[in-house]
Amino acid sequence: MTAEAPTILATSAGFERGPDGDRRPGKIHRFAAELAGTRTPKICFLTQAMGDQAERIALHYAGFAGTEFSATHLQLFPMPNHADVRGHLLSQDIIWVDGGSVANLVAVWRVHGLDEILHEAWQSGVVLGGVSAGSICWHQGGSTDSFGSDLRAFTDGLGWLPYSNGVHYDGEELRRPKMHEFIGDGTLGDGYATDDGAGLVYRGTTLAEVVADRAGPRGYELKRAADGSVRETPLPTRLLQPA
């Protein structure tokens, strides 16, 4: 199945912990399947933002094991693990992008031409989703620790969504003030932000709604005023229900 319109689910949310402490698909993953129109989703996860670490890949497989998700992965380090990368990605219901370094992620994608393949997948109805770096990447940019422990502005995102994107908005002390700083001084354009646990749903390039996997997290609209201040507006946020 495919989404009814080109769909991106850009989040600060991901796996949940089961009663035994193991990773299990989060409400956000199951919502991605709902957006794709299937109860038995094929999901391909991408971990280039963490350098395709074997441990990271294994954690994803463990998280989806024994569930309704049919999981595969695409790695690019040290070389692609699929002979037909385009064919594999276009056959998915969901492509989910892991967190890490958004700067490295986008650079590696461009070297491999993956940006063009992902754009084709998006336009064809494959739901594109991700957390943290996997949220910022679709936008013009956002705040990132890709360059070191101090947050800096990343301005070289794919730009399909013509906004800035702030992740972990309530989860890290400097995320909110840095987004205000970068938008206020014009380094980043107007955009949106998500608390940990929240996600932005885009239909085409328009924000359709904000969702959250638990009560409390929200999404926000961030707009620069003429005097350089930034107006932050909390957005209506729908609580996702258990599957």
Q: Which residue has better confidence, 22 or 9?
A: 9
Q: pTM of the predicted model, to two decimals?
A: 0.97
Q: Which residues are catalytic?
A: 132, 168
Residue-wise pLDDT tens digits, 200-227? 999 999 999 999 999 999 999 999 999 9
- What pLDDT score does 1 carry? 64
Q: What own/partner pairs with CB < 8 Å and gap ≥ 24 does 177-180 have?
A: 178/143, 178/151, 178/153, 179/142, 179/143, 179/222, 179/230, 180/222, 180/230, 180/232
Residue-wise pLDDT tens digits, 37-71? 999 999 999 999 999 999 999 999 999 999 999 99
Q: What does DSSP assign to residue 48? A: G
Average pLDDT for the chain: 97
- What pLDDT score does 80 carry? 98
- What pLDDT score does 135 carry? 98
Contact of 221 with 180, CB cutoff 8 Å? no
Give the residue-averaged pLDDT of 30-43: 98
Query: What number does CATH give the domain 7-239?
Result: 3.40.50.880
Contact of 115 with 124, CB cutoff 8 Å? no
Q: Where are the domains of the chain?
A: 7-239
